[in-house]
Amino acid sequence: MASAKQLKAAMAVRMLVLGHPGSGKTGSLAALANAGFKLRIIDLDGNPEPLLQYVDEDKLDNIDIVTLEDQITDDGEYAGPKGVPSAFTRAMRLLDRWRYLDPEGEAELDKATNAPKVDKAGNVIRWRDLGRPADWGPDTILVTDGMTGVGAAAFRRARVNLNKTPLNTTRSVWTLAINDLQSYVNRVTDGTLKCHSIMLSHLKLIGPKGEEGDDSTLTKSIKAAAAEHIPTRYYPSALGRDYAGNVSGDFPNVIRAEVKRGKRLLTWKPTEEVDLKLPGKRVDALGELTIDDGLLKIFRALGAEPPTA
């Protein structure tokens, strides 16, 4: 148990940043790195260039990026992962401990001989180890780029685990993959994390469910009635219609990157098009925010000051 004062003092920023491709989601992170925050990025989109282009040269050491990809091959029938897909599993393991093979990392030592271990090719096994995210402090931001990639990785793993292919995918594959994505989101929004957490997500347009060939007359009438009350809106690109509509509830802060008047901007005010939220007394004083320094201004408005040198 803790008092409200203690909870507020230890409160980390947990944020979902929405936006179409090219709107500036990834590039907006540069302002945080340039201010001195350490960024630890799980990259499933394979596109860190927009961030690296805007980070000051002397702040590049503030950023650690782990790119996770499943190798895709074509066997003549369909394209799919080569072997057992591992991207989702590796992402979840990074949330336990940020440790990965790195030719410039520390050598792994044999406990018996204290000599460096070598792989089958005779190369010294080296690791980069930044510890447990659970132990990181408010000078660090855990970033997931992005929700679309996490969902795709979870789906690939679910399909293989259930011994399915693109030719016979069943509802159970979707159920397992959505479950896994939800577990990942729960991890990165855990209220006990002392570090900040940002997840980037594309947007997808969702409207009322349409009629299907095997719908009964009653089902068709229900869908028709619902269509009059359910608006077509943008939602985070999570797997499944229902979870896409609910995932924003796991994040206290939801903002959007968008292009207006030739400028890439960050906004937090909800519209009929998309739900957004940014609770805080100092938020209303924020003016127009560009991706150049908008995220830093938002962090400061939420009480998350960059670390002092």
Cβ atoms of 52 and 60 within 8 Å: the answer is yes
pLDDT at 127 over 60: yes
Q: Is the predicted pLDDT of residue 128 greater than 60, yes or no?
A: yes
Q: What mean pLDDT do residues 209-236 have?
A: 67
Tokens matching residue 131: 């510890």
Average pLDDT of 3-29? 80
Average pLDDT over residues 18-22: 94
Is the pLDDT at 123 greater than 60, yes or no?
A: yes
Report pLDDT for 5: 45
pLDDT at residue 55 above 70? Answer: yes
- Selection from 42-56, 168-182, 199-213, 275-289 with the highest mean pLDDT: 168-182
Of the candidates 3, 26, 305, 37, the residue with the CA atom closest to the CA atom of residue 149: 26
| Predicted local confidence at residue 49, as pLDDT | 87
Between 209 and 159, where is the model more confident? Answer: 159
In the chain, CATH 3.40.50 sits at 4-96+135-301
Interacting residues of 226 by C-beta distance below 8 A, sequence separation 6+: 208, 209
Higher pLDDT, 254 or 215: 254
State the pLDDT at residue 41: 97
* Cα–Cα distance, 281 to 190 (Å, whole number): 23
Given this model, what pLDDT does residue 220 score?
Answer: 58
| Integer-rounded Cα radius of gyration of the chain | 22
pLDDT(100) > 70:
yes
Q: Are 15 and 119 in contact (CB under 8 A)?
A: no
Is there a contact between 158 and 239 (Cβ–Cβ < 8 Å)? no
pLDDT band at 213 (very low <50, low <70, confident <90, very high): low
pLDDT number for residue 4: 44
Domain covering 4-96+135-301 in this structure, CATH number: 3.40.50
CA 37 to chain CA centroid, nearest Å: 18
- pLDDT of 66-92, one tens digit each? 999 999 888 888 888 888 899 999 999
Question: Predicted confidence band at 6 (pLDDT cuts at 50, 70, 90)?
Answer: very low
Question: What values do phi and psi take at 80, rounded to 5?
Answer: -165, 180
**Predicted confidence (pLDDT) per residue in 252-281, tens digit:** 999 999 999 889 999 999 998 999 999 988
230: pLDDT strictly greater than 70: no
More confident residue, 221 or 181: 181
